[in-house]
Amino acid sequence: MIEEILPDLFRIKIPLPKSPLKYLNSYVIRAPERNMIIDTGLNRKECLEAMLDGLRELEVDLKKTDLFITHLHADHFGLVSKLVTDGTKTYFNRPDTEIIEAFGGWEPMLEYAGLMGFPRDELRNALDSHPGFKFKSEWIPELSILSDNDTVKVGDFLFKCIETRGHTRGHTCLYEASKKIFVAGDHILNDITPNIQCWSDQENPLGDYLASLDKVRDLEVDLVLPGHRRLFRNHRERIEELEGHHSRRIQEVLKILKGGPQNAYQVASKMTWDIAIESWDLFPLAQKWFATGEAISHLRYLEETRAIARETGEETTLFFLNQA
């Protein structure tokens, strides 16, 4: 479960039961003054046990430990409320903090999903099966806000914050220049593609994400420490693959819209998904939800480039190809 990556830098694998992500990588940096844990796991028993077992083995005392959370998703933030003690600093970014603070319930998101064509009678069940809903932190501690380029020193490690908007609005990575390590959160993953979902017309997460891939391309990196799955090298190669993936997706969406105006849910049902289930109808509800969010991020991106436009009706929003 525990692996030493560099002297005083460890990974604890936190299991994510029933999730295709399999586990979250929590990184622990041991230092004489204060330790730091990067990302935590879902707020559920299996995650907490794995975390506490790991910390015990590393002899890391939570009273002398700070937290850094890459973004607001529950598999990263969820356990925070179980780990903070009186003196804990919980480092986090401003844009995701604003999302948490402005959160007025899930209704606007459900309403939006309905307009995007998600079957209205299934919305409530989709929400109930959403891990972000079930396993979120029950309260939010005081947060120490860090911005792009701010630094955090932990023992021998001097981490620089790199804001990488896309996967969430404030997603933030850490870069250690002298050791050439890049703590990627869910910005760059190996084996799987970070999901880029959109649930608001005010945003263009895919556009942001592609810009954020560009932003980290030129860093000198020996080792990427991702939020899930395997550690890897060659981050530039992986960035190229991810860019290729999204440009194929964009082409696929354009091709689907050649069939006529459609809502986002219909588009999602026709896209190819890397999931071992044969037909869209058999997809679990949570997967349909993620897929629809992904389809919307590609549609919003195409809308911003003016390749497509929309017509908003009472019941649903239809997207169609713009005539050149």
Contacts with Zn ion, 46-85, as mask; x by CB under 5 A: -----------------------------x----------
Q: Which stretch binds Zn ion (CB under 5 A): 40-48, 135-143, 186-194, 247-255?
A: 186-194
Q: How many residues bind Zn ion (CB under 5 A)?
A: 3
Q: How far is the CB of 14 from Zn ion (least distance, A)?
A: 11
Q: Which stretch binds Zn ion (CB under 5 A): 105-113, 170-178, 184-192, 298-306?
A: 184-192
Question: Least distance to Zn ion from the beta carbon of 324, Å?
Answer: 39
Smallest distance from Zn ion to CB 184, Å: 11
Whose Cβ is closer to Zn ion: residue 12's or residue 302's?
A: 12
User: If binding is defined by CB under 5 A, does position 39 make contact with Zn ion?
Assistant: no
Question: CA–CA separation, 203 vs 267, rounded Å?
Answer: 19
Distance separating alpha carbons of residues 229 and 234, to the nearest angstrom:
15
CB of 9 vs Zn ion, minimal distance in Å: 20
Is the CB of 132 or the CB of 261 nearer to Zn ion? 132
Amino acid identity, position 172: T
Shortest Å distance, C-beta 307 to Zn ion: 30
Locus of tokens 């459609």: 262
From residue 124, give the alpha-carbon distance in Å to each of 75, 111, 113, 224, 297: 21, 11, 11, 38, 22
Q: What is the spatial distance between Cα 175 and Cα 160, in angstroms, rounded to a whole number?
A: 5
Of the pair 20, 313, the CB lying nearest Zn ion is at 20
What does the alpha-carbon distance between residue 221 and residue 236 come to, in Å, rounded to a whole number?
Answer: 9
**206 close to 301: Cβ distance less than 8 angstroms:** yes
The answer to whether residue 186 forms part of the interface with Zn ion (CB under 5 A) is: yes
> In 3-state terms, what secondary structure has residue 90?
strand
Which one of 110-118, 181-189, 190-198, 271-279 is the stretch in contact with Zn ion (CB under 5 A)? 181-189
Contacts (CB under 5 A) with Zn ion, residues 215-234: 227
| Residues in Cβ contact with 275 at an 8 Å cutoff, skipping those fewer than 6 apart | 20, 283, 287
Q: Which of 16, 144, 138 is nearest to 69 (CA)?
A: 144
- Residues lying near Zn ion in the complex (CB under 5 A) are found at 75, 186, 227
